[in-house]
Structure 1
């Protein structure tokens, strides 16, 4: 795996990152308190490790998102150990062991059932992680069959299960993928509104606080920030369009 990159490519990636951060700041500076802070996850799936290193070295970026377990595992071994990896793809039960063994895995954003949470919890125990692994519960707020995630109505019980039965996991937030063409009402994306409502229900019922909201991608991250997102996932705007990917992992 080559880590070499050209100065031109590094400049392009840095400028793209800076552009996204500037657009984030435009939204966030109008909001106060916790709402004024948000994390940018550079989605690097299908992209060479050299692109990630360029963002790391020239822009000081640390949070990167990967969709495929094999790709994440390979990149995590080649790249600096202080990179904070986000797993944002569909997590298969038979891949939990591999994911849990990645030492600098920051969060798994796609836990979509109590059963999956338990499987990942056992994998984290076997991997002897020094502290609980952060997870987000993926909620299918749009109801689209093509998308993974639990229904909003299931999120409370899954959250309760994690808190009660998964000591090697830390419930850190909720995640959703918004509809590509939402029917906006009063300027609000209903998918983002639904995730906010899930968070409120979970926090009020289980008497916890501080859950993050991971919502917003290249096309809708500014609206997501306006609606309280603390974690946005941006790929093509930073790294450019992606080639077809045929390797299964």
Structure 2
């Protein structure tokens, strides 16, 4: 049973609900058929913000970047929230993540070792844990992720063949800000194109289909949808600017 969470100020509830509705409308205006999944990225925001959107807007998919913050919030909030872990994945945190019953997906798997640890820690009787492979499409050293192409196929093959408690849901990328800006000028985002190409390669090599694409954030989710994203991760446009991590008050 989740612990009670303080109710947000009515003005805050209204602001959050309107912001979420605005993003949903923008998504619907672009989506060709089924709108992509909207993950509201609630990192460094209080649990009361999540409770507000859960109750007032019926939203269920929320994303967190820090393991302990996700653990704390999951313990306080309704157990039908579907959590996404979207932060850098450390091997020593895999077991902790896998022990969260309503963890919908880990979007940042970037190594066979981490997939194995998630699989081994997941309780067999629970539903399979969805995972995305994080692909470093921009080649930036500052970003995590496997290289597009052969490396991605190898991790995908391991998940499909050797991780019975995991489900390969798709591929994920963060991409570069510069390419997001270029896309805003009407060009194709090269990072999104690379992820789509890698998806098609993985599907061909493994004989699977319908893998998802998690790409697009607050600055570029509309362009990502145009290029095939099925899962967008939107934070600041919904919740507003975040405080520095060290000063954030996590409820």
TM-score (normalizing by structure 2): 0.92
Residue 26 of structure 1, CA deviation: 1.1
Contact 2:6-2:48 at 8 Å conserved across structures: yes
- For the residue of structure 2 that corresponds to 1:106, the secondary structure is strand
Q: Report the 3-state secondary structure (helix = DSSP H, G, I; strand = E; otherwise coil) of the residue aligned with 1:149.
A: coil
In structure 1, C-alpha distance between the alignment counterparts of 2:113 and 2:91, rounded to whole Å: 9
1:32-47 equivalences under 5 Å are: 32=33, 36-47=34-45
Residue range with higher mean Cα deviation, 183-192 or 55-64: 183-192
The aligned counterpart of 1:11 is 14
1:186-239 deviation per Cα after TM superposition (whole angstroms, max 9, x unaligned): 721000000000100011111101100000000000000000000000000000
Q: Which residue of 2 aligns with 1:133?
A: 129
Structure 1 residues 84-118: Cα deviation after superposition (integer angstroms, max 9, x where no partner): 00000011111111101100000000000111111
Between 1:60-69 and 1:238-247, the stretch displaced more is 238-247
Choose which of 165, 175, 178 in structure 2 pairs with 1:178. 175
Q: In the aligned structure 2, how far is the partner of 1:113 from the partner of 1:133?
A: 16
Counterpart secondary structure, 1:90: coil
Matches within 5 A, 1:1-249: 2-28=5-31, 31-32=32-33, 36-124=34-122, 127-153=123-149, 154-182=151-179, 183-184=182-183, 187-246=187-246
Work out the CA distance in 2 between the residues paired with 1:90 and 1:77.
21
Q: Give 5+ residue unaligned stretches, structure 2.
A: none
Residue 209 of structure 1 aligns to a residue whose secondary structure is: coil
CA distance in 2, matches of 1:138, 1:3: 35
State the Cα distance separating 1:131 from its structure 2 match: 2.1
Runs of 4+ in 1 over 6 A off after TM superposition: none
- d(CA) in 2 for partners of 1:76 and 1:209? 32
**Equivalent-residue separation in structure 2 for 1:194 and 1:241 (angstroms):** 30
The total of aligned residue pairs comes to 240
The TM-score with structure 1 as length reference comes to: 0.93
Offset, 1:37: 2.5
1:46-102 deviation digits (Å, cap 9, x = unpaired): 000000000111111000000001000000010001100000001111111110110
Aligned mates of 2:28, 2:125 — CA distance in 1:
35
CA deviations 1:139-183 (Å, max 9, x no partner) are: 000001111111103101110111111111100100000210115
